[in-house]
Structures are given as structure tokens and as C-alpha cells.
Chains A and B, each alone.
Chain A
Amino acid sequence: MSRTFSKAIGRSGLYLSIAGFTFFAAFPFAWMAITVFKRILDLYNIHNNPFLFNLPPTMENIRLLFGETLFTRWLANTAFVGAFVVLITLLAAVPAGYSLARLARGWGQKFGIGIFLTYLVPPSLLFIPLARVVSALHLQDRFWALILVYPSFTIPFCTWLLMGFFKSVPAELEEAAMVDGCSRLGALRRIVLPISIAGLLTVVIFAFTLSIQEFVYALTFISPSAQKTVSVGVPTDLIRGDVYYWGALMAGALVATIPVAFLYSLFLDRFISGLTAGAFR
């Protein structure tokens, strides 16, 4: 009797906790979604219940976002920057991760942790000197500055992740291939990389989403609207004078958020296990 009773309490406590946390996490997005489809007169009336459509829903905010702002340009810039960052990251992190996993004897683990720790050097410490570097290279106000700088945080993390992936590939497979006349690099290309496809995909997704999410460098290096990425363009440019276009702002924020959040959460467990492995191993 008392056992079922305490179990019932535990169960309702659980559902209360689920409801509370889900509300806290998801409410802002729900409110953003409602705002997107509201008319201005409906939105800016303090007597209205904000959760009801007191006036019929409208597509006007979305039309404004795509038709009269540089939003599509920002999306394109973001995709372009992300693609280049992924490319540079792979070119540097794949050989580095392999080298640390297989070729480094003894010093590999220490070096790996050293590289991982550089991921902890925050943009807040680097954006001022990097602003100087970027302007010396004449990349100021061009998104090429971001393509140059973003790999400085994607390479350390992805090298670390790939090192873990390559270590989990049995060394005998490569050795067998090398006995059969493959070179070290040949074995990497023909044996190790195809097996590590999941690891490579993780790295691609992370390099891409981390560069979409980045804010500080993009804010510091780039002022012209046409060169902005989406996570800086939306919060800084959809404001004219002191007027906020809240409907269009929320539309822009949601359009960019949903695909990124979806991709990222698919691979989040790998990201977290990479981070904690960095702190533990």
C-alpha cells in the first residue's frame, strides 16, 4: 500500500519535472513561432491575450524577411563560410588525428590533450588581437575573415574527436593492408577512412554547426550587411533605428534555428562524450 503510494508520488513528481523543464526549454521557441504569424496591430496591443490570434494570422512577416531584408544573402554567406570551414577542418584534423592515434609514440596522448585545451581559449580573449590580424591581412569586413578564423576552434576539437575514432579502428586491418603492399597513407585512405565514416560525418556536422552558431568574431570583424552571417545579421540588422521588426526577427531566428538544432541534437551525444573524454583521459 505505502509502496504503491510512494511510487505514485514518484511518478507524478517525474511528470511534474518533465513538464516544468520542457516548458522552460521550449516556451521561448513557441512564443517566437506565434509571433511570426501575428499582425502588427494584434501584437502591439496590451489588452490582447498574446496567445490568441485576435486578428487573422498573416504571412506578412515572412514576406518582409525574405523580400525586404538581406536574410537570404545571410543564409548563403553562412552556408558558404560553413562549407569552407568544414573543408579546412578536415584537411588539417584528419591527418592530425591519425598521427596522434597511430604514429605518435608516447607523446601522442599529451599532445592530444594540449590541442584539446586550446579549444578552451575563448573568443573573448582573442577577438581584439585577431581584429588587428584580420585588418593587417586586409580581410576586414569580408566573410573570408571568418573562413580564416573559425578553423582555429574547429580544428582542436575535431582533431581530438578524430583521434578517438581512429584509435577504435583495429590496427591489424592497416597492418594487413601494408603487408600486402599498401603505403601508410594508402592504408589510411582505403581502410581507415571508409571505416571511420561515422566519425568523419560527426566532424563535418560539428564544424558546420559551430560556425553557424559563432557570434563574437562575426560581430567584431564584419560591419557591412551584405557580408554578415545569419546569427549576426538577424539580431543586429533587423532593427531600423529603435524600431524592432519583431515578427520578421522571430521568423529569421526560427528559420535558422530549427535545422541547426535538429542536426546538432542528432550528434550531441558524440559531442558530449568527446568533451568529457577530453577532461577525463
Chain B
Amino acid sequence: MEEGAIREPWRAVARHRLRGDRLLGPLMLAPAILYIVALVGFPLLLAIYLSFSNATTGSQTLNYVGLTNFARALDSTIFRAALTNTFVFTLVSEILVIVLGNVLALTLQQKFRGRPVVRFLILMPWAAPFALGAIGWKWMFDSLYSVVNWMLRAIHILGPHDFPQWLGVTKLAMAAIITVHVWRMLPFSAIVILAGLSAIPQEVLDAAAVDGASFPQRFWHILVPMLLPITTVAVLFGTVFTFTDLSLVYILTAGGPFNSTHVLSSWAFQVGIIAGDLAQGAAIALFLLPVLLVVAIGMLRTASRAEAGV
């Protein structure tokens, strides 16, 4: 009886609050939702709308032109090269980032002297504004004074009169772009994987060691399966960041030599903004959408699997 008397005011308050909350909840959510709808949702639809039009930066009028923009995009050899480059760039750098990211995560998990300093230095490429890091690399790949070439000459990998043009030859330029991207993304995936590593209870590994499992056995049968979900997450985010990146190619090569190193985003920027053909640029950028949808679905599936506790 006494307990009920104490509870009564709680209940009345709760009932009253519940009614108020039903209104307050959506009201407090509204500004964020409106912002996202206005500046993410609406532009996304506008991109699709523009890609079916003949919009340019100068004109105010729009006409419906059907699939012309997509057909013109596919007709261009530069576009087809950009499409190939985007996939090669994403695939190669993601493989390197994930393999090296796992090694780096296992390294950073160990205890050693000076670890906080090492950690800070290793995180720098991801924490720094990337456009500024990329301009440093552009200087490192300079046609004459490249410090990379100087070091390669110093250790006799290159002959004394070799001056490879990192940003001037298509294949080398792609290699340079991938190197710089791996440099930037490596800390990110290592930290994501490290977060997953520290969630593996040390007892499990110890118990396996006590039961006589060798290191390779422990690695393949315990570490790898336990790291798989978190590595998937790192791959999904890495794919979004890599597949859609514009700044790196823009700064390092601007698509050159002869538009041979463009990726979809940089080509969309070149056509849509610099040349002013908004409609064509929007159509080119929309080729990014299918892969992004696959990633979003992958993300939701890991989310629901985690919810189910698997």
C-alpha cells in the first residue's frame, strides 16, 4: 500500500510526460530532418533531374533531353578510362589498405615504449586536412626535385641519371595516386580494426594457446573470424571514401597526362563545373550511385546481423 502511494505521483507524471513527448519528440527532431532533406535529399533528386536536362552554369531554362547525357558520357573515351580508373583505384587501394591495416592494427596493439608518439605520427595522415597532405606529396613527386627519386637513386634502385616522371606518365601517376590514398586511409582502417581487436577477450586467445594451438592456428581460427565483421565495416567505409574521392586526383594530376588518370568524380568536376555543363557532369557523377547503394545495403546487413547477435 505504502509502496503504491510512493509510485502514484511517478505514474501520473509519466502519463503526463508521455502525452507531451509525443509532440515534443518530432518537434525536436524537425530542424535536423529539415536540414538533411533540404541539403542532401533535395540535391540528390536535383542531380537526377539535372542529368535528364540540358542545364549549364549559364542558362536559366531547362529542357528534358532524356538519356542523352548518359549516352554522351558512355561515348567518351575519357569517361570510359575514368570508370576503369575508379574501379582499379578503389580495388587496389582497398586491398592494400585492408592487408596493411590489419598488420598495423596488430602492431599498435602491442605494448612498446613511445607508443603514444608513434600512434600520433601514424594517425597524422588521416587527421590532417587531406588537401594539404596531398600538396606535400605533389612536391615529393616533383618532375626534377623529387625527394622520392633522390632517395631511390641514393640506394641505387634508380641509376644516377634516372628521373622518373611520377605524375607525367599514366601508369606511374596511377601508382602515385594509389600510394598517397593508401597513406591517407591506412590509419583509418587500422584504428577501426584495432577497435575490433581490443574487443576480442585475451582469455580466448590464451585458452587456445594453453590448449596447444599454434600461432597460425590461432590466427586463422580465432583472430580472422573474429576480425571479419569489423574488417567488413572498414572495407565498407573505405569503399565509400575511395570510390567517391575527388580531391586527390584533382590536386595530384588534375586528371593528366592527357585526361588519362581521371576518376568519375574528378571527370564530373571537370565537365560539370570547369566546363560548365552541369547536366553532363550530374550524369557522370550518378554513375557512382549503384556502388554506393550496394555499400548502404551491406551496412544495413551488418547492422541487422549485429542486432541479431551473430
Contact = CB atoms under 8 A, between A and B. Distances in A.
Given A28-B133, A99-B24, A159-B32, 11 more contacts: A29-B128, A95-B32, A96-B32, A123-B246, A124-B246, A213-B129, A219-B269, A253-B132, A257-B132, A269-B195, A275-B233
A28 B137 contact: yes
Contacts of A178: 13, 17
Contacts of B125: 25, 28
Interface stretch (A60-68, A144-152, A189-197): A144-152
A131 to B, nearest CB: 6
A280 interface: yes
A253 B133 contact: yes
A267 to B, nearest CB: 10
Interface of B: 9-10, 13-14, 17, 20-21, 24-29, 31-33, 35-36, 39-44, 46-47, 50, 55, 57, 103-104, 107, 110, 112, 118-137, 139-140, 142, 144-145, 147, 150, 183, 186-188, 191-192, 195-196, 229-230, 233, 236-237, 240, 244-247, 250-251, 264-265, 268-269, 272-273, 278, 281-282, 285-286, 288-289, 292, 295-296, 299-300, 302-303, 306-307
Contacts of B246: 123-124, 127, 215-216
Q: How extensive is the interface on chain A, given as a class?
A: 35 or more
A169 to B, nearest CB: 16
A277 B10 CA distance: 33
18 contacts: A18-B112, A25-B186, A31-B140, A49-B150, A92-B32, A118-B36, A120-B296, A121-B44, A131-B272, A132-B50, A148-B39, A175-B10, A184-B20, A234-B135, A272-B195, A276-B195, A280-B303, A281-B306
Nearest to B250: A219
A199 interface: no
A154 B274 CA distance: 27
Nearest to B251: A235
A250 interface: yes
Interface string A5-28: 000000000110110011011101
B295 to A, nearest CB: 7
Contact of B183 (A25, A264, A269): A25
A276 B104 contact: no
Contacts of A31: 136, 139-140, 147
A130 B43 contact: yes
B118 A100 contact: no
Interface in A38-75: 43-44, 46, 49-50
A184 B17 contact: yes
Contacts, number: 300
A209 B132 CA distance: 14
Interface string A165-181: 00000000001001100
Contact of A129 (B44, B104, B120): B44
A279 to B, nearest CB: 4
B87 to A, nearest CB: 15
Interface string A94-123: 011011101110000001010101101111
B236 to A, nearest CB: 7
Contacts of A87: none
Given A35-B139, A257-B128, A280 B21 contact: no
A227 interface: no
B191 A268 contact: yes
B233 A280 contact: yes
Interface string A131-162: 11101000000000000110110011001000
A257 B131 CA distance: 10
Contacts of A128: 47, 50, 268, 272-273, 278, 281-282, 285
Contacts of A122: 240, 244, 288, 292
Contacts of B40: 118, 121, 126, 152, 156
A246 interface: yes
Contacts of A278: 299, 303
Given A272-B195, A276-B192, A127 B120 contact: no
B132 A256 contact: yes
Contacts of B31: 91-92, 95-96
A95 B28 CA distance: 5
Contacts of B188: 272
Contacts of A244: 139
A255 to B, nearest CB: 9
A250 B133 CA distance: 9
A124 B121 contact: no
A203 interface: no
B286 A234 contact: no
B25 A124 contact: no
Nearest to A247: B139
A231 B140 contact: no
